[in-house]
Amino acid sequence: MTHRDRLAAVLSGAAAGAAGGLFGVGGGIVLVPVLAGPFRLTQHQAHGTSVATIGAAALASLLVYGAFARVAWGTALIVAVGSVVSARYGARLASRTSPVSLRRAFAVFLALVGIRLLWHTPAPAPAHALSGPWIIALEIVLGIAVGVLAGYMGVGGGLLAVPAFTLLLGMAQQVAQGTSLAVILATAPASTLEHARHGNVVWRLVPLLAVGAAVGAPLSSWLAQLLPHARLSQAFAIFVLVNALMIWRRASARPRPAVPG
């Protein structure tokens, strides 16, 4: 790689880390289109390389959220267990999906999440609607869904976890985001192993992207603690809608040859 390529990788990682810290996601929604676009990776490689990187962004962001006591650790643990079990199956499914279908599925999912959040911004509930074993069962099911999504889409699963934590569990937006980041620390490695087994991780990019992500995440994580719940939720919705539009437009682009890992 040239010095320009290395700088671009670090800056791309920083952008992903900033998005991850601000919205409680791993940053894959930034990295996947960048890796499949300017870096000219195949869609499968973009997903695998993204998920191999986002753990660094999640860890750097989580340190800030944890310092502000914005993490529901019990929920994070249960959801993480379910996600680790299911993440590899999402990655396997991704390896069997055509690049165009994989990209379009990613775009449609983002659009649905963004529209739902804009249509009705969730307000934090004082308590869970469910209690006892029902809460645990819901968290396990959510963890399985997050794991499949993370493995399939090349993201940390925060795109599903954050709105689920707010809409289903009544968490404040910041707590939902912090809890999501804790889950990503478990989900990302499990997804990475399966993507690597299928040869879809371009390892030479991962350290540079990870360094950038670790640098970009803390400041945006701190900013997220200061924003009002409703404004942060609406910003998250707009963010994913813009990404959905960009990814859909690229869905019919000419397939690229695989880049050596």
Reported as a single tens digit per residue, the pLDDT across 108-153 is: 877 887 887 777 655 555 445 455 677 888 889 988 988 887 777 7
Tell me, rounded to whole angstroms, the distance of Cα 24 from its chain centroid.
8
Residue 257 forms part of a structural domain = no
Q: Which two tokens stand for residue 249?
A: 């437009």
CB-count exposure of residue 38 (10 Å: 0-12, 13-18, 19+): exposed
* Number of domains the chain is built from: 1
Two structure tokens written together for 84 = 């680790």
Is residue 110 in a domain?
A: yes
Nearest to 45 by CA among 154, 145, 128, 134: 154
| Residue 255 belongs to some domain of the structure | no
Confidence class for position 158, pLDDT limits 50, 70, 90: confident
Q: Is residue 258 part of a domain?
A: no
pLDDT, position 182: 93
Give a yes or no: residue 147 inside a domain: yes
Any domain includes 118: yes
Mean pLDDT for the chain overall: 82
Note whether residue 230 is domain-resident: yes
With 0.75 as the threshold, say if the pTM is over it.
yes
Rounded-to-integer distance, Cα 67 and Cα 72, Å: 12
pLDDT digits (tens, 9 = 90+) for 202-251: 999 999 999 999 999 998 899 888 888 677 778 878 877 887 887 787 66
Percent of the chain at pLDDT exceeding 90: 21
| Length of the chain counted residue by residue | 261
Residue 256 included in any domain: no
Range of the domain at 41: 3-250
pLDDT for residue 48: 87
Higher pLDDT, 2 or 122: 2
